Amino acid sequence: MKKYPNYQPDSRRTWQEEMLMAFLTCLVELAPTTSFPDPRTRPPPTFRLAPTTTPAPTTTPAPTTIPAPTTIPAPTTIPAPTTILAPTTRSSPVFRPAPTFRPALEQAPVSNPASVFPAYVSEPDSVPEPDSVSEPDSVPDPAPPQPPSQRHLFTSTRAEAAFRKAFPNSPRPLATSGDGLCGLHAIRRSVAVQAPHLPVPSTQELLDVLDQDDEDSRRITDTINAARYSEHGAESDATNSNRSWFLLDHLASIFWLWGRARGLDVTLGIWVDGRGYHIYDSDTNGPNNTLVWVRHDGGGHYTGLARA
């Protein structure tokens, strides 16, 4: 307490008060050495505004571009090497001559055999040799197409293959009337179902081809008129005009003449019961040829044919 002479103890104070007075006295003693500005004379504080910082403009990010899908190229196919084949030389087809076929109806001998079609040849492979061969000065014109005849009869596998192609299953017969014109009726019924792209001939149209004034029609008519046939026990001779009971080659010739008059390439095929399949070729069969089949019962009656 000696250091602070201004402190005067008082016995009337409690020791707590004494301690407080001593503390206050110390503060008073220390006051001259500490300079505190008078709040009344102190200038007001100067407040400086902080510099305003302009925020940087916000950059809107560009929209995210989705890349286009990558197309995976298809694997390259290496073509197989092309093998060039050597040209094949096709030989002309060889058709075997028809075997001797005896039709149900015989043909009568005629006074002028050269004016009609030749009869069935008993030895088809034998060809008579000419007495002498002379070289012509000029090549003659080719012969015109011949109508169907017995010499164009094919009974080989070609005819059977054509029949099997037309009728994969068993054919269905189409009934015809037995009025002596059953062959013409058979042609009409077969054309209607086997060749719908062709006009169906009438019976009279088929008969009219025999009256055409041309060489082929006259030769065919002579052959038909010369045929022997039996009807109710009566026989016909070559002087009578035959308009019924046609033989196999008669029907083929009539059908061929009917098509030729209309610009159609047609051929008649005949299936004879027990005697195989026969095609009467006209030597004019082209890529547009139409083959129509009829059936012969082996006795004298014709019927049409349709697919089963």
Beta bridge partners of 291: 267
Other C-beta atoms lying within 10 Å of the C-beta of residue 209:
22
Where do the domains of the chain lie, and which CATH numbers do they carry?
Answer: 147-306 (3.90.70)
pLDDT at 83 over 90: no
* Mean pLDDT value of segment 10-25: 81
pLDDT at 289 over 80: yes
**Among the listed residues 248, 259, 221, 223, the one whose alpha carbon sits nearest the alpha carbon of residue 145:** 259
pLDDT at 221: 80
Angle of CA points 158, 142, 206, to nearest 5°: 60
pLDDT at 264 over 70: yes
* Mean pLDDT value of segment 27-42: 64
User: d(Cα 108, Cα 116) in Å, to the nearest integer?
Assistant: 12
Q: Is 222 exposed, middle or buried (0-12, 13-18, 19+ CB in 10 A)?
A: middle
* Mean pLDDT value of segment 146-171: 72
User: Which is more confidently placed, 83 or 102?
Assistant: 83
Percent of the chain with pLDDT over 90: 23
- Cβ contact 264:239 at 8 Å: no
User: d(Cα 205, Cα 200) in Å, to the nearest integer?
Assistant: 10
pLDDT at 111: 40
**Among the listed residues 178, 298, 296, the one whose alpha carbon sits nearest the alpha carbon of residue 231:** 178
pLDDT at 33: 55
pLDDT at 131 over 90: no
pLDDT at 58: 73
pLDDT single digits (tens) 177-223: 888 899 999 999 999 999 999 999 999 999 999 888 888 888 888 87
pLDDT at 166: 93
pLDDT at 125 over 50: no
pLDDT at 184: 94
